[in-house]
Structure 1
Amino acid sequence: MSDKKIGFVGYGAMAVPMGENLKKAGYDVVAFTPSGKAAGKPSNVPMLSSPREVAENVDVIILCVPDDNAENKTLNGENGLLAGLRKGQLILDTSTVSPPQADHLAKIAHEHGVDVLDTPMSGSTPESERGELIMLAGGTDAVLERARPILDIVGRITIHTGPAGSAARFKLVVNGVMGATLNIVAEGLAYGLSEGLDRDMLFNALQELAVISPHHKRKLKMAHNKSFPSQFPTRLMNKDMGLLLDAGRKTGVDMSGMAVAAQKLARSNLSHRDEDYSALFAQMEADVANAPS
């Protein structure tokens, strides 16, 4: 395997910039999506007819799908990925899936003689476009070194989290912190508005404080402008919080704060499903505006 031919299964908002960056670096890139189209702007990446066809024509397969169900659909069946796998290939799973799903993929890849890393990413579309994602990698040292040239193009750093499945678990930690922290900032903002503090002052002042992360300052800017372009849609954050709480329930760990945030995001998902998850600010602003006087 030369590892110069890469096939994406799932070619959405995060994958398209990754593919473009890999093409610029000299890789041959193809993709499959159920719709037969790439997300967002037009792409010159050839679109193949099935996951099986992707597997039959590449050295490296990058999975970038929304959830466990979508991943299993791409894997199984007559035209599924497993039907076209060849020994010696490499699978990089950039999807955010449940820990059992990550373990399942590692097992079946091993059975097919295929190298695999769970490689979920931390970052949104701006980081993907710039090739500055933080890539999390679960798997052996040898497979990580094989994948590193690819990971170094799509990301600015790769964190080796441990054995196969560990990156999928750590990604839930990352997204849980993101979701719960956003909820705390939104609650603070809502309190300030309820006390009659000036809206512009609140948003501008919070942008200056070290206690607000750079990520959440970007989300505050969206909320200030009342515009929520979907860098990380609410539906996906809502899904990830559910995965985290389910996993935590199985270990027995107390995640009360995460659970509260998950409920808030689930409610926001009813109205802001396809907007950025920072639309939670809009939900809470509306609650303040509609509260009885």
Structure 2
Amino acid sequence: MSAHPSIGFIGFGAMAQRMGANLREAGYPVRAYAEHQQDGERHGTPMEPLATLLPQAEVVIVSLPNDAVLEQVLLGADGVLARLESGRLLINTSTNSPALSLRLEAAGRARGIAVVEAPVSGSTPEAEQAQLVVLAGGEPEAVERARPILETLSKTVHHVGPTGQGAAIKLAINGLMGAGLAALAEALAYATRAGLDAEVLFEVFGDLAVLSPHHQRKLAALREGDFAAQFPAALMHKDMGLLLAELNATYQGAPTLAAAAQQLALGAELHPDADYVITADILLEEAEDAATR
């Protein structure tokens, strides 16, 4: 029998699959549920329907794409929180609104279930290497209960404050990522229109300290034409929308983030399942066309 609690994933996309593999390697019994696959295996993890997964899972880890899906799956009379036994732990790694995090915590508390929000910073390479940064929010006792699991998945676990603050800081971080990519795309497009050779541009920009490691990686993907989704454009669009809604609710002006969100929406509209760096490729193609006219 394993010394580790049994874990059930709800939502088992690219990030969750890699997290599940790391937990299995560390000795945790792991099962998963995904709406479109409820038997067999995915990335080495057994897939099960909720009816058999929930009774066995001492800890449930949730990785779902947006507020609407989270509400549908977790809340309500037949939702996961209503079907879990008292005393269980639910860790929500999704990126969602702070308001929904508070609702999930309240629903869990009413059932005697500890709920920890734990969105992560990092994409699939960091998930695979267990180098994510966890942004945990919740009651200290609940976060400490979740910490051994979270530390297995990450290089750092930050308890950033009470529930809602994990979601808030994740949106701020993703806003920084999105705005940085938008600025990089516009700078490359300008230089292309000015007639600079593409290889020269990539060589010079790849040598700059002003680009973060994350944006250096996006630059390399752009150079190689590799748009496999480490962070899908549709999810970036969703996160920027959540951030702008929070800013509007607090009457904070953020014109840079608003403009970046509008630019990133182009990639989400045309190529929602591609990595969000696809927006830079769209701008570069336009710039190359303009330079040759």
Aligned to 1:207: 206
AA aligned opposite 2:86: K
Cα displacement (A) at 1:79: 4.9
Give the alignment's Cα RMSD to 1 decimal. Answer: 1.7
**In structure 2, C-alpha distance between the alignment counterparts of 1:265 and 1:129, rounded to whole Å:** 26
* Equivalent residue number for residue 70 of structure 1: 69
Task: Check the 8 A contact 2:227/2:278 in 1, yes or no.
Answer: yes
Runs of 4+ in 1 over 2 A off after TM superposition: 41-44, 52-55, 76-80, 289-293
Q: Aligned equivalents of 1:150 and 1:142: distance in 2?
A: 14
Q: State the match for 2:278 in structure 1.
A: 279
1:47 partner letter = M
Q: Relative to 1, partners in 2 of residues 1:37 and 1:202: Cα closer, same or farther, differing over 3 Å?
A: farther
| Distance in structure 2 (CA, Å) of the matches to 1:171 and 1:19 | 21
* Structure 1 unaligned spans of 5+: none
Q: Which residue of 2 aligns with 1:8?
A: 9
For the residue of structure 1 that corresponds to 2:278, the secondary structure is: helix
Check whether the contact 1:5–1:29 (CA below 8 A) recurs between aligned residues.
Answer: yes
Q: Distance in 2 between matches of 1:3 and 1:250?
A: 42
Structure-1 separation of matches of 2:56 and 2:78? 13
Is 1:30 the equivalent of 2:35?
Answer: no
Aligned mates of 2:204, 2:196 — CA distance in 1: 11
TM-superposed deviation, 1:8: 0.4
**Residues in 2 aligned to 1:68 and 1:237: alpha-carbon distance in whole angstroms:** 14
User: Is the contact made by 1:3 and 1:59 (CA closer than 8 Å) also made in structure 2?
Assistant: no
Alpha carbons of 1:104 and 1:3: their partners in 2 closer, same or farther (altered >3 Å)?
A: farther
1:272, distance to aligned residue in structure 2 (A): 1.7
Distance of 1:135 and 1:245 partners within structure 2: 22
1:46 alignment partner in structure 2: 46
- How much has 1:23 moved relative to structure 2? 0.6
Q: Which runs of 5+ in 2 are unaligned?
A: none
- The alignment status of 1:187 with 2:186, answered yes or no, reads yes
Aligned to 2:92: 93
| Contact 1:3/1:60, CA 8 A, preserved across alignment | no
Q: Does 1:166 align with 2:165?
A: yes
| Structure 2 CA distance for partners of 1:58 and 1:37, relative to 1, 3 Å | closer
Distance, in Å, in 1 between the alignment partners of 2:48 and 2:73 is: 13
Q: How many residues are aligned here?
A: 289
**Matched residues in 2 for 1:241 and 1:214: separation?**
21
- Quick one: percent identity of the two aligned structures? 40
Counterpart for residue 216 of structure 2: 217
Q: CA deviation at 1:290?
A: 3.3
